Structure 1
Amino acid sequence: MDRIFKVGLIDYEVSALINLGEIIDMIPEFEVGFKTTDPNEGLSKILSGEAEILITDVVIPNLGGLSISEKLEGTGIPIIFCSAHDRFAVSGYQLNAAYFILKPAFFTEVSKALHTARMKLESSNEKALMGRENVRLINGSGGITGETIDVSEIVYLEQSANVTTLHFINDKKFVVSSLTNFLKGLKYSNLVRVHKSFAVNILLIKKINFTQITLKNDQKIPLGRGYREGLNDYFSDKIL
């Protein structure tokens, strides 16, 4: 079953809430999580997770939609403004609104708005996932040490026996693992194997020649023959 996204509705006009609710009921993948004429109640509900996307009017007594948007800044919750006053559209987009619907709301515009908000939400979730996937606990010689590292900050990896050294800009860590096992399962990593004993952060490559890679910190890393073709493939569509 496809995921259903819950939508919160805030508008001081009951008729507008009814209209939006009826339209959302006709759009697959979305359902009304809550609807209210009280902006403070709506703000509380969206912050408590009763909906993932918010549609709000701009002009509301006591707490307007623009103020609601400011209070939700940094939460990753996509906001759609629905107003009879198109002069607020610019202000909405300046606050990074996902969409602006001009009242009265019609099916086509609400559908476009919700699908735009969904893409924005999924992009935000993916970025958050990337951050979580990059964080790893160190498994040092004494077992799990409790220390965490961000894989994206690694400059290069170097394997010796069953220990892999993680080289950072100003530090290095030692992990009890083969290079193969360390790289296995990293979903959002810029680390690319370039030698049986080395992997490098591909974003930090300064120069590539036939047998050697120079990183931006001028560290020289050997380039194995069997890994050269894969590296060339990566850069094949990035040649100026």
Structure 2
Amino acid sequence: MSVTERPLGVLIVDDEPLARARLARQLQAIDGCQLLGEAADGESALQQLDSLDPDLLLLDIEMPGDNGLQLAEQISTRPNPPAIIFCTAHDEFALPAFAVAPSGYLLKPVSVEQLAQAIAQARRLSKPQLQNLRAEAITSESATGRRQIKAVSRRGVQLLDVDDIRCFIAEDKYVIAHHSGGETVLDESLKELEAEFGERFVRVHRNAIVAVGFITGLQKGGEGYRVILAGTAQTPAVSRRLLAGIKSLLSEMA
């Protein structure tokens, strides 16, 4: 932290005393953070929000009374709301949580490394930027449906932009999304993904669907044809049954 940068004021909101104590200890190990207070429920959190004016909330979701999602929605309507990092044991709330554009979504038990990374991200977003993100998230979700896919691992929750995904490939019991940042394992079936995103992705093989917008051509090899995609080294195989349709699609795109 620079000499002129003030500490990041943090309010912990969690109904479990042990969870609050764990986060408080971890904050002590993160440079530039100042614990302003703790709250065990939404009502207490709102009161302390007014008196402490924190820069950041570490917010649980499952709590008595208003849960963390409801509290976040209330806070997001306030002038200059604080950044929010959800800290929860439940991965199923990830997509509704991101409708209020938090700076992070961490799964318990949260490590100090995960918390430090999420806080670093929160520092990079000013309060006006967070307000713009909230507005964009609500608008895009209501206007066009799902634009992102949730992936959950022990590192936390990752949201993938569908427009950035080159292909989905089924391997064993999993589906892997290949995108500009690498590859991510998903807990969704290829059939479900094809049904939802069939206008943007085309089936090329029983184990692969590819993004139409990233197709650049076909490559013939000793084992048949493979589709070439921009921005990835993946070249999914094209089945003989589907080859004619893929060639027709390429002709239309030319």
Normalising to structure 2: TM-score of the pair?
A: 0.47
Larger radius of gyration: 1
